[in-house]
Structure 1
């Protein structure tokens, strides 16, 4: 009887450790941003809605080898990025400076310079600031 109880306790411990390890590995997956494309869902709490006068239907975000590109709904913008696990640094940000009649005050200005980390879950990319507040949310293209 003691052997049965000990064997049962050992097997329960083994199952518990295995399931914890599996959960941990699923949530700690390393995501490589290079070569990915995303579509804007929201900036903070402001949901994306196509503005009349926008040249494109969506606002995208793409990551190349060491650079990224996006827009604000009128002007193209981009810069360089460095990824270290789930930490990211977005620098050297530059933009075109076209006048966009009737939408200048409604543009989607994503504060990429405040982004320090990100998380990806359910095909959504969340860019986070230093306090882990969501700066912008994108969905996988």
Structure 2
């Protein structure tokens, strides 16, 4: 009887631990139709300039359009997605001059031109070049 109680107790603990581990797993955000906020360019953190939009994009399924902001200007273009491969084409942006953030804008557009691959882990999107080097990191933002 004592043995049955011990085994039952161990099974209960194992089930509780398995349940806790499952509850802690995060679900990966979908790449498409998610608002992705730019947080890093390479290893450098990106800060939002006061009185300006945050750099971000959304990949829309309609006609494989990308729309977003470089931080200063709005941008639009097309993307191509095949498995883990991702590329951007025909990127265009408005041409406002901003007192700050123009370096981030140009670096972001340059990074998008070099994207070859993507990875999503939880709410983090990593964009990589053809050599597997990190170009940018973005974070999913849920709009309310």
TM-score (norm 2): 0.68
Other structure's SS at 2:113 match: helix
Other structure's SS at 1:49 match: coil
Which runs of structure 2 are paired with 1:27-106 in the superposition (5 Å)? Answer: 33-52=31-50, 54-56=51-53, 58-65=54-61, 66-100=64-98, 102-103=99-100, 105-106=102-103
Where does structure 2 lack aligned partners over 5 or more consecutive residues? Answer: 1-27
Aligned to 1:115: 115
Q: CA RMSD in A?
A: 2.0
List, as ranges, runs of 4+ consecutive aligned residues in structure 1 with deviation greater than 6 Å: none
CA shift, 1:85, in A, is 0.6
Distance 1:37 1:105 in 2: 21
Other structure's SS at 1:107 match: helix
- Post-superposition CA distance 1:3-54 (Å, at most 9, x none): xxxxxxxxxxxxxxxxxxxxxxxxxxx98532122111111111011223x4
